[in-house]
Amino acid sequence: MALEAGTRLGDYEILSPICAGGMGEVYKARDVRLDRIVAIKVLPAHLSENGQLRQRFEQEARAVSSLNHPNICTLHDIGRAAGIDFMVMEYIEGETLAERIARGPIPLEEAIEIGLRVADALDKAHRNEIVHRDVKPGNIILTKSGPKLLDFGLAKRRVTRSSESDSSAVTEQKPLTEHGAILETVQYMAPEQVEALETDARTDIFAFGALLYELLTGRKAFEGKSQASLRAPSCLRSHGRSQSFVR
């Protein structure tokens, strides 16, 4: 159930919903102590009962808190109130890269600048042994000071083979009142992630390559009418490991 405006989570007052995803709901809120606007990502009570989801939520908080970079969303605080786990992040004003691409082609110089900054943010994460695993235009917000990479809900540190399918854990950005598909996310997933194999920094590089292609052409690198068609082997996705394309 979505939180209503005026709901208090500790020292934070919910103002309005922003979006929802597979790993929680995001709200615009006010820090009543410092009188500033923040973004709060919550793991609803019915999801916090799932130990695996709660662990992943805490994992995201640890990942973001360890990264200090101008192009990565800053984590301010974490907490738990009324049975709800939440993390408090900087409130970022701007449009997502997905929204910007939808409005039309991006000039070459601007696209290169966005790509360089996102690459630098990923380099920072990888040097801290963190793999984002959900790099896509919807997880990048364009601000006056440059792009901001957010949503580390699938991030992993020192990634090893997982017993859980990566493809089943992809996040889905959508308004709180809508139901959508994960088709857009699958379009940026590396072959090993689709096949639930071991992931590492090269998984992010594959997604970044797909993102960069879209920046420069205005078209998605991989098209399909369904998840099945995108998961099916093709001349670009049949090798089973993304290093086939990025080494």
Count CA atoms closer than 13 A to 6's CA, side-chain side: 0
Annotated catalytic residue, options 85, 134, 151, 200: 134
Return the bridge partners of 16, or none. 28
Measured CA angle at 96 (ends 95, 102), to 5 deg? 95
Nearest CA among 170, 153, 172 for reference residue 231: 170
35 flagged as catalytic: no
Count CA atoms closer than 13 A to 174's CA, side-chain side: 16
User: Which residues does 13 contact at the CB level (< 8 Å), separation at least 6?
Assistant: 6, 7, 29, 30, 32
Rounded Cα distance between 94 and 142, Å, is: 5
Do 194 and 231 contact (CB within 8 A), yes or no? yes
> In the structure encoding, which two tokens stand for residue 9, read together?
């989570």
Nearest CA among 83, 1, 89, 97 for reference residue 38: 89
Catalytic residues, which ones?
134
